[in-house]
Structure 1
């Protein structure tokens, strides 16, 4: 484990990174606006658990393989891009349903919300490469067990991301309760989110393979 100043720096850097909007934040906010804060929290849990897969993979060397093997990176990149594009197209062509402002948010399928958030991160090789690039900077060169140190830091990073992700869910729920225009235009927001997911998918598809 790093010393206390390094650990505090690691936590602060993690919070700043998690505050940056991206596919994770978009997924949390979209589900919160559609189905309430509970769906947003479940979406956040799915996303964080997807990150745990990459933390464990990096600790045992799978992420190193992604960083050095063009074939492995390309396969996961295209699978992840296809998944993001599928989510985007599904939102773009979703049917608009009448929304009763007095009835509250629609009852969500929480399991579906969870596993889609989980897959959003598991199928994105850029998440694996992020952990591989970011976490080792805070591991002492003379650490006796670097894999264990990596796991601990990954655990800390993911747990510390929860307040940020939950905060996005609560903020979106607060906005939805107070801005009726947001609720009346949910199907347009679905389409905007769909365009963004398509954009994220295309961006991932065009990501260069890591240099060997």
Structure 2
């Protein structure tokens, strides 16, 4: 790929990554609640999910998802149910303490990030629409170019999500151990997850 194409793609990708959306909200919610390490684990999980959508777009699987209404509905409702489950868990959480945060399973949060991303069919359709615009028919395999672009998108997303997680985690650390504040954080987190779930359930192609 030409350097100008790569730079243009990186610019567009950064603007899209920084725009308010479910992934940003998810990283912030986890980081504020559980700290910077948890936010980073969640961010890495979300970005790992991007590789799944990238491969799907490159291999043409995203087109199948777009054409099959049943597959689209199954994926989006599975994602909505999973988010509602996370919202329910957030409401059941008691006040966080430093000890509780230290005991959190980072691999579990990583997997949570992957599921959050993979179970959002909008991401697949987004990549299906975005990546081909930067593919040149004179630069070799279109599928390979799409995979390369997807990896570039993932790299910049890891950087930006990590910075977001570090900032939000620093804010959250100051709130750990304050029961009243923690209670409202849990409620806010449940509200965020529920909001994303509803948006996902109402999503149309």
TM-score (norm 2): 0.90
The count of residues paired between Structure 1 and Structure 2 equals 205
Structure 1 pair 98–163 and aligned structure 2 pair: CA distance change class (3 A): closer
- State the partner residue of 1:196: 192
Which consecutive residues of structure 2, in runs of 5 or more, have no partner in the other structure? none
- State the partner residue of 1:174: 170
- State the partner residue of 2:120: 124
Shift of 1:140: 1.2
**Would you say 1:21 and 2:17 are equivalent positions?**
no
- State the partner residue of 2:141: 145
Shift of 1:193: 1.5
Moved more, 23-32 or 141-150: 23-32
Is the 1:34–1:106 contact (alpha carbons within 8 Å) kept by the matching residues of 2? no
Shift of 1:70: 1.1
Shift of 1:31: 2.2
CA-atom RMSD in angstroms = 2.2
The answer to which structure has the higher helix fraction is 2
Structure 1 pair 182–172 and aligned structure 2 pair: CA distance change class (3 A): farther
Is the 2:135–2:146 contact (alpha carbons within 8 Å) kept by the matching residues of 1? yes
Shift of 1:44: 0.7
Deviations 1:137-191 (A, max 9, x none): 1111334300000000000100111110000111112323456898851221121
Shift of 1:5: 1.8
Moved more, 136-145 or 161-170: 136-145
Structure 1 pair 106–21 and aligned structure 2 pair: CA distance change class (3 A): farther
- State the partner residue of 2:36: 37
Structure 1 pair 182–17 and aligned structure 2 pair: CA distance change class (3 A): farther
Is the 2:97–2:177 contact (alpha carbons within 8 Å) kept by the matching residues of 1? no
